[in-house]
Amino acid sequence: MSYSATLVRRAAAVLALTVAAGALAACGNSASSTSPAAGAAPNADRAAAAPGVGPSVNLDECGKQTRTVKHDLGTTTITGNPTRVVALEYSFVDALVAVGMSPIGVADDNEPKRIIPALHEKVGPYKSVGLRATPNIQVITALKPDLIVADSGRHKAIYAQLSKIAPTIAYASLNGNYQQVLDSEMSTAIALNKCDQMKQRLTEHAKTMSDLKAEATPGESRKALFVRASEKGFTGFPPKAYTPGVLSAIGIGSALPDSGTDASVSLTLETLVSTKPDIMFIAPNDGPTLRDTWAKNQLWKQLPAVKNNATYDVDPNEWSRSRGLIASEVVAQEAVKLLYGK
Amino acid sequence: MTLSVGTVPQPTEDATHKRPKIVTNKQRVTWATLVLLVVIVAGVLWGLSIGSQHIPLSRVPGAIFRADQPDQMIIQSIRMPRVVLALCVGAALAVAGALMQAVAANPLAAPEIMGVNAGAAFVVVLAITVVPSLSGAPTILLSFGGAAAAGVSVMLLAGSGRGRVSPVRLALAGVTASSLLISLTQVLIIFDENSADSVLFWLVGGVNFAGWPDVRNLLPWMIVGLAGAFAMARPLNLLALGDDMARGLGQNIERTRLFGSALVIMLCGAAVSVAGPVAFIGLIVPHIMRRVVGSSYTVLLPLCALGGAVLVLYADIVSRYVKPPYEVPAGVITALIGAPIFVYLARRQKVTAS
Amino acid sequence: MTSTAIVAQRVRSTTLAQRHPRLLMGSLGVLAVLLSFYSLSVGATDVSMADVLKAIVGDTTDQAAQIVVQFQLPRVLLAWLVGIALAISGGVMQGVIRNPLAAPDVVGVTKGAGFAGMLLLLAIPGIPVAAVVPAAFVGGLVAAALVYLLAYRRGATPIRIALVGIAVSAAFEAGIRFLLVRNPLDVSAALIWLTGSLFGRSMSSVLEILPWVAVLVPLIIVWARKLDVLGLGDDLAAGLGEPVERTRRTLLLFAVALAAAAVAVSGTIGFIGLIAPHMARRVFGGRHLALLPAAGLFGVLLMLFADMLGRGIAPPLEIPAGLITAVVGGPYFLYLLVKTGR
């Protein structure tokens, strides 16, 4: 029957792709390991072309009719210009907006307000496809997308199914850091065939960030801590995480030490005291949080950040949940405004 | 709480001698008490001296009374409440476990087995995720509600009101109710990813975030609970003789069970609301103590309080060494100790037809 | 007296269902098939029964039919297989352990499989998702073996198996909690798997569980009469020439393997293994030759219902089937306790 025939064909295609991907990966490795010099020249070019983007993004695919896009869960071939895109994380909405597009479907947790204002006004009407953790595959199918952008951690288990619906690329958003987020924006743009727009946007981004950095006090030595406060916890983000990465791009260092593979660490008041943050950006959950209790403590009042009046409440949607190019500018701008009043 | 035997002319003396089950060795009790107290004092000093800030032991005693320097303040406002809370939570959960075993006449009855902790935890998580504006004092009441609903239904349904229930029946009932509550709690976390990490941390149970307000929230309930439990020691001893004999001795067993259950819920609900469902304390401490000092509740209950305090205190200390400078909840450690003991207890249960 | 006669004497046969078991069993089967068809059409998008029928006869030209074939059909098939596996496994365990409250959760299978799966999902981030299934399966078997060994003291009496099973489950549960605390950012995917859901499952999951059900269920049905004999008690069964310990061990192994396979593909869906056999016993009586197939059908009905409700109740959100079985099964279980307590 037609179904089983398609199944066989798909299986063959997937197999071929996997083999091809394996071969590609092998080639890539050998090329980079044997002749590092060869890679140097294009890298210099690319810095001009797409500032801030790491070497893992293959800019050579830009502008081709059929593009092979590398992503965290494999390699996907995309033909033509996708217009019906489903974004399964806020990061990817950010990427679409950055190149002047709008998604047709978003895994927005059924809470449209979580799409931050900077994006919201540029996002047209879209259909919610449910929770980011469990996007509704049926709804995605019904939207007839021609590209799906998924999170490489959350959506690993349903990647095969998503690929059946449309070409699917997957990048780290939930666990992604600032660099990975910028890379994924560029890769998404390659998939969308909007390289030039994204390169231009990245150039603007680099300028925005360096302008903001210039606004900061030269040689800023204060260390900042970004935390999420909830009723039962106080979660700090180490320097490798996204938000501290954004802050360090504008010259604000992290108060937490590098802690290996941890994406976040649970802080007690004592660890907080020993961290000695000069600045604290606190993204509180709704309702009372542990911070309210701690704020009454004498030791809290002795934290450098509290003493210097440098604790700021920030919006968790903007500072933590939306990891992207535009969102990072929002964070950087707000940080500069809060810290330097500019 | 005067639940003593009232109308009985010469109550316990004879009864205790008739049944060799209730034995108390005075010397062992004295020694056990002394050892536990020394261990507690040592643990308190240890607990006060370690943490992410290095503070030499020599500065600890002074800091208990003065708080001028930052390190003294750390001891006074972070480590002291933490140590005190660990002691209180341990005592409350262990005494609740012993009470529950007496009330249910069942060696495997314990707050965590009977779904009491899971019930309290579910309601607290429900409050955090669904109605975040509820907090503070109401949490403790909600926690009571959850603990009561889960515990009472398991106990009533497993039939503890109708005399002795087989341990296996009670354990099965409790474990099933717990798994229902745990699965509900998990779904709440899935749908509210915001607080997932912190709620999961809390669900393991520990005193990492303790402050004096937590101690203040717990203390009144704990004092009433413990005092009530100690006052009930004699009726509980009679209850241990079996329903018929206890009734024959003029004991109002229904009332004893009712008060006992209420105390269990008060102790567990309060402890869980401040420290999360710290695992296995209520199950293993009474068993160990019974081994050491025998099964008279007059001495067993106070010693359980000491033993539980020791267990949680040391679990909390060890938990600070697992992943410095950050911490894991103490519940991880108590589970590590408790689970094998639970397996051992289950293994040596006398096999009677259910 | 032959064993059959004794069994017949012990097992009351008064209900209508026992006089016409085939008729009733047949109608249950028809009900399950009808519910399956209906379930194919339930979801976040409009799929009519006509589309379902079209898809079934192999016409997958339009999109609704594709949704049915690609996404709904595997879930419905999986609901059948998981329902049968859990329910029959529960039925066998209740028979062997001779306790109406026994279930796969009780002998440690569920938590063991859950722990192994979580260990893989959380501790080894790069692991392919496909590896979770065999790992969970092995975890379930290992946990059950551990329970049996620990419960073995000159034979493993049913009660000791149950008690040790609860204790071992508690140990694994503690392990699961520890893993969840150590890896806070990856938890959402792991939690969904842990709660038990058919979300995002495809034909490959069906193929993973199918061989186990296809081989073990007939074997168990053939041995159904041995369960009746075991139900008479160890002494009487031994007197009737049944090698009690060996039979018990073999049957338990079958039941454990079935449950482990089910948990491995669908996560820890609770209560089906507990309540489906009860429903069957109430309707068809205690004879296992009728009880087990009937339990299987009840299991299928429960799974279909839970998955269908999960998809249809609040689209595009997906409610995990495990939550619905818990919400339905919990109260039924309490009712059972009250009833059997008298």
> Where exactly are the structural domains of chain A?
35-193, 215-340
> Looking at per-residue confidence, does C29 or A56 come out higher?
C29
A233 in C contact zone (CB under 8 Å): no
A158 in B contact zone (CB under 8 Å): no
Cross-chain Cβ contact C187/B197 below 8 Å: yes
The pLDDT assigned to A226 comes to 93
Q: Read off the pLDDT of each residue in C265-272 and give the average, rounded to a whole number.
A: 86
Highest-pLDDT range among C22-31, C122-131, C311-320: C22-31
Say if A35-193 and A215-340 have the same CATH topology: yes
Report pLDDT digits (tens) over B106-122: 777 888 888 888 888 88
> Looking at per-residue confidence, does C216 or C311 come out higher?
C216
The pLDDT assigned to B35 comes to 93
- Whether C33 shows a pLDDT value over 50: the answer reads yes
B293 close to B30: Cβ distance less than 8 angstroms: no
The pLDDT assigned to A36 comes to 35
Q: Read off the pLDDT of each residue in B292-301 and give the average, rounded to a whole number.
A: 88
C305 close to C42: Cβ distance less than 8 angstroms: no
- Whether B227 shows a pLDDT value over 90: the answer reads yes
* Percent of chain B predicted with pLDDT > 90: 19
Residue B210 belongs to domain with CATH number: 1.10.3470.10
Cross-chain Cβ contact A269/B78 below 8 Å: yes
Q: Read off the pLDDT of each residue in B53-79 and give the average, rounded to a whole number.
A: 77
Among C129, C202, C318, beta carbon nearest to A134: C318
The domain tally of chain B equals: 1
C48 in A contact zone (CB under 8 Å): no
Cross-chain Cβ contact B342/C192 below 8 Å: no
> Looking at per-residue confidence, does A7 or C253 come out higher?
C253
By C-alpha distance, the chain C residue nearest A156 is: C129
Q: Is the peptide bond before A304 cis (omega within 30 degrees of 0)?
A: no
The pLDDT assigned to B177 comes to 82
Cross-chain Cβ contact B173/C337 below 8 Å: yes
C278 close to C110: Cβ distance less than 8 angstroms: no
Report pLDDT digits (tens) over A137-157: 888 988 999 999 999 888 888
Confirm whether B15 is domain-assigned: no
Cross-chain Cβ contact B209/A259 below 8 Å: no
A285 in B contact zone (CB under 8 Å): yes
Among B51, B195, B201, beta carbon nearest to A270: B51
Cross-chain Cβ contact C323/B158 below 8 Å: no
Q: Residue A166 and residue C66: Cα distance in Å, rounded?
A: 13
Confirm whether B53 is domain-assigned: yes
Q: Which residues from B are below 8 Å from A233, CB to CB?
A: 195, 197-199, 201-202, 209
Name which of B17, B7, B271, B326 is nearest B121 in CA terms.
Answer: B271
3-state secondary structure of C187: helix
Q: Read off the pLDDT of each residue in C137-160 and give the average, rounded to a whole number.
A: 84
User: Rounded to a whole number, what is the distance in angstroms from the first to the last CA of chain C?
Assistant: 32
3-state secondary structure of A69: strand
What subunits make at least 3 CB pairs under 8 angstroms with A? B, C
Q: Choose, out of A266, A275, A301, A322, the residue to mutate when testing the contact with B (most B CBs < 10 Å).
A: A266
Q: What is the mean pLDDT of chain B?
A: 80
Q: Residue C168 and residue C146: Cα distance in Å, rounded?
A: 8
Q: Residue C289 and residue B228: Cα distance in Å, rounded?
A: 54
Among C159, C181, C337, beta carbon nearest to B328: C181
A241 in B contact zone (CB under 8 Å): no
The pLDDT assigned to B159 comes to 59
The pLDDT assigned to B137 comes to 56
Cross-chain Cβ contact B201/A233 below 8 Å: yes
Among C162, C177, C323, beta carbon nearest to B183: C323
- Whether B125 shows a pLDDT value over 80: the answer reads yes
Cross-chain Cβ contact C185/A136 below 8 Å: no
Interface of B with A in 314-343 (CB under 8 A): 325-327
By C-alpha distance, the chain C residue nearest B152 is: C334
The pLDDT assigned to B220 comes to 92
Highest-pLDDT range among A50-54, B176-180, B296-300: B296-300
Taking the CA atoms of residue B128, residue B132, residue B135 and residue B138 in that order, the dihedral angle to the nearest 10 degrees is: -80
Could you please report the per-residue DSSP string of C289-313?
Answer: HHHHHHHHHHHHHHHHHHHHHHHHS
Q: Which residues from A are below 8 Å from B74, CB to CB?
A: 270, 273, 299
The two three-digit tokens of residue C227, written as one number: 């369960």
Q: Choose, out of C45, C61, C181, C323, the residue to mutate when testing the contact with A (most A CBs < 10 Å).
A: C45
Among C160, C333, C338, beta carbon nearest to B349: C160
By C-alpha distance, the chain A residue nearest B77 is: A297
Q: Which residues from A are below 8 Å from B77, CB to CB?
A: 269, 297-299
Q: Read off the pLDDT of each residue in B303-316 and give the average, rounded to a whole number.
A: 94
Confirm whether B271 is domain-assigned: yes
Radius of gyration for chain C, computed over Cα atoms and rounded to the nearest angstrom:
20
Interface of B with C in 64-83 (CB under 8 A): none
Report pLDDT digits (tens) over B143-163: 888 888 888 777 666 654 455
Interface of C with B in 105-124 (CB under 8 A): 105-106
Cross-chain Cβ contact B208/A231 below 8 Å: no
Work out the angle at residue C79's Cα, subtended by the Cα atoms of residues C76 and C84, and round it to the nearest 5 degrees: 135
Q: Residue B351 and residue B336: Cα distance in Å, rounded?
A: 26
Q: Which residues from B are below 8 Å from A109, CB to CB?
A: 193
The pLDDT assigned to B136 comes to 53
C243 in A contact zone (CB under 8 Å): no
C179 in B contact zone (CB under 8 Å): no
Whether the CA torsion C194, C199, C203, C209 is positive or negative: it is positive
Name which of A72, A251, B349, A134 is nearest C323 in CA terms.
Answer: A134
> Looking at per-residue confidence, does C100 or B224 come out higher?
B224
C326 in B contact zone (CB under 8 Å): yes
Name which of A165, A162, A169 is nearest A183 in CA terms.
Answer: A169
B276 in C contact zone (CB under 8 Å): no
The pLDDT assigned to B67 comes to 67
B185 close to B122: Cβ distance less than 8 angstroms: yes
B168 in C contact zone (CB under 8 Å): yes
Domain C3-7+15-41+73-78+90-341 CATH (choose: 1.10.287.3510, 1.10.3720.10, 1.10.3300.10, 1.10.3470.10): 1.10.3470.10
Cross-chain Cβ contact A153/C315 below 8 Å: no
The pLDDT assigned to C177 comes to 83
| Helix ranges (DSSP H) in C102-233 | 109-118, 132-151, 158-182, 187-195, 203-222, 224-230
A81 close to A193: Cβ distance less than 8 angstroms: yes
8-state DSSP, C70: I
A276 in B contact zone (CB under 8 Å): no
Write the CA distances from B133 to A234, C125, C138, integer angstroms: 17, 36, 44
A142 in C contact zone (CB under 8 Å): yes
The pLDDT assigned to A166 comes to 92
Return the HEC string of C87-114.
HHHHHHHHHHHCCCCCCCCCCCHHHHHH
What subunits make at least 3 CB pairs under 8 angstroms with B? A, C
Q: What is the mean pLDDT of chain C?
A: 83
**Domain assignments of chain C as residue spans, ordered by start:** 3-7+15-41+73-78+90-341
pTM of the model: 0.81
C223-227 CB contacts, 8 Å cutoff, 24+ apart: C223/C247, C223/C250, C223/C251, C223/C254, C224/C287, C224/C288, C224/C289, C224/C291, C224/C292, C225/C3, C225/C4, C225/C7, C225/C288, C225/C289, C226/C251, C227/C92, C227/C95, C227/C96, C227/C251, C227/C288, C227/C292
Q: ipTM, 2 decimals?
A: 0.80
Name which of B119, B130, B120, B109 is nearest B180 in CA terms.
Answer: B119
Interface of A with C in 53-92 (CB under 8 A): none
By C-alpha distance, the chain B residue nearest C180 is: B200
Hey, which residues does A229 pair with through a beta bridge? Answer: A234, A284
Class of domain A35-193: alpha beta
Q: Which residues from A are below 8 Å from C189, CB to CB?
A: 133, 153-154, 156-157
Digit-by-digit pLDDT tens for chain A (342 residues) are: 344 444 444 444 444 444 444 443 433 333 333 333 333 444 445 555 778 888 888 888 888 889 999 999 999 999 999 999 999 999 999 999 999 999 999 998 888 888 898 888 889 899 999 888 889 888 898 899 999 999 988 888 888 889 988 999 999 888 888 999 999 999 999 999 999 899 999 999 999 999 988 887 777 888 999 999 888 888 889 888 899 999 999 888 898 888 776 777 888 888 888 888 999 999 988 777 888 888 888 888 888 999 988 899 999 889 988 899 999 999 999 999 998 886
What subunits make at least 3 CB pairs under 8 angstroms with C? A, B
Å from A49 to nearest chain B CA?
Answer: 37
Q: Residue C235 and residue C242: Cα distance in Å, rounded?
A: 10
Q: What fold, for A215-340?
A: Rossmann fold (3.40.50)
Taking the CA atoms of residue C320, residue C324, residue C325 and residue C331 in that order, the dihedral angle to the nearest 10 degrees is: 150
